[in-house]
Chain A
């Protein structure tokens, strides 16, 4: 039983990192019906922003909450800016183009960032020196937790609550929901639709940036292709939860994280990647719109 709870806790940590990325996928889909394939590479850039900021300011020489917060903030801001530019220059000119053109562009932007990253950062993995010492593990009824796990859970939770607050309690959040319901009707309310779309990209990208730092804190080896598998799983999580639905993305991601952690614990870690696709196939077979997704009729 203790072992099970241990895997559960590990899985929730992993799942909350997936969630931070899945939220960006789902928000952009909600507002533009676009699968932003480049999103997983924004997450990768988040890790690299943190890496270079940390290197430049020698943050790892003074590990602690200050250093971590600084890296987190820089990375979130950096990714928000990248997200802004991706939308502005890759997707916006295609706003009225057929869906397939935009999809191909999204794949193109993703490849551009992945191979641009290899060119710029080098293809070899880099060691992101920890910004926080793991500290003495804490035991709660036999379940072991270290400081990094607690930070990952705490920061993700805080960010998700913050996002929930923005979406449901602020004016810009109300505008985001209006735009994702209908661009034209939102414009008739006086809502600057393009601004709201930019804001949504920036918000989602900032969360991906935070995920980049948290993942690097947990698995310090980073490389320009690190977004491929991790981001893909986050995308699957968004689909499982019901793409377009913010709460669904979190639920889907936690399910993914916990399932993966169980597979690692009880089966073999070699199955961990296959699992994501197994879950995806099951969901697509039995609940194609996802757990919280509405069964929308295909538009004609």
Chain B
């Protein structure tokens, strides 16, 4: 059994009166792809936000490498090794692609290594390299998603959080992006992948958590969930 990199222990999150996460617990192991699936509004993005410091849980614990990180500022968590490509891509639409990517490396000072990582991002996404000097707001949705993922990689995270990278994209582009996700994972990156497209996500993930109205309904091996009748009925539209 490989070691746990990130853990939720009985986490509750409230948006004012809305109880968005209701005592959610799960673990992400080092080196795996963990996918969070569930219907719209189930609390998937909320879970990621609680991981990256965008919001503070009302109770429970979030642990990263064994340390409590709930309540830690988002920018400090970037420094600790959490990279988050948020829902809606979070592109700085008024800046160039190059500026977006370098912002991902904002906290780093190792110029040569940053250059290396840029080259790596170009290798993963040749399309991004071609658009380097274009204002990011003028890119297609797929290209923006590539910039968002590339930018998150630029902080050299230990864990990469991806929020619905397939949203609104054409099937060929989705396929390409999922290929990259698998490739980045094979290079050793731990990934938490939020998806509404459960079938796709379960196909590439090692473990999965199914969220339903704020609770972790089922969790286990992705392959087992893929085979389970109830999951196929509820989430894969069969």
Contacts and interface: CB of A to CB of B under 8 A. Distances in A.
A178 B104 CA distance: 11
Interface in A171-188: 171, 174-175, 177-178, 181-182, 184-185, 187-188
A189 B95 CA distance: 14
Contacts of A193: 75
B53 interface: yes
B92 A182 contact: yes
Interface in B60-80: 73-75, 78-79
Given A187-B75, A188-B54, A190-B78, A174 B93 contact: no
A175 B105 CA distance: 11
Interface in B2-17: none
Nearest to B154: A189
Interface in A187-210: 187-193
Classify the interface of chain A: helix, strand, loop or mixed.
helix
B52 interface: yes
A64 B104 CA distance: 47
Given A175-B106, A178-B103, A187 B73 contact: yes
Contacts, number: 57
B107 A190 contact: yes
Nearest to B85: A188
Interface residues of A, number: 16
A188 B74 contact: yes
B: contact size bracket: 20 to 34
Given A175-B106, A193-B75, A188 B90 contact: yes
Contacts of B107: 190
A189 B150 CA distance: 12
B80 to A, nearest CB: 10
Given A188-B84, A189-B104, A177 B79 contact: no
A185 B90 contact: yes
Contacts of B94: 177, 181
Contacts of B93: 181
B90 A190 contact: no
B106 A190 contact: yes
B145 to A, nearest CB: 14
A189 B103 contact: yes
Given A177-B92, A189-B155, A190-B106, A184 B99 contact: no
B102 interface: yes
A260 to B, nearest CB: 32
Contacts of A171: 106
Nearest to B152: A188
A192 B95 CA distance: 19
A178 B53 contact: no
Given A181-B93, A188-B54, 13 more contacts: A174-B99, A174-B102, A177-B94, A178-B95, A184-B54, A184-B90, A187-B54, A187-B74, A188-B86, A189-B106, A189-B155, A190-B79, A191-B103
19 contacts: A174-B95, A174-B102, A174-B103, A175-B103, A175-B106, A177-B95, A181-B92, A187-B53, A187-B54, A187-B74, A187-B75, A188-B54, A188-B74, A189-B75, A189-B103, A189-B106, A189-B155, A191-B106, A192-B75
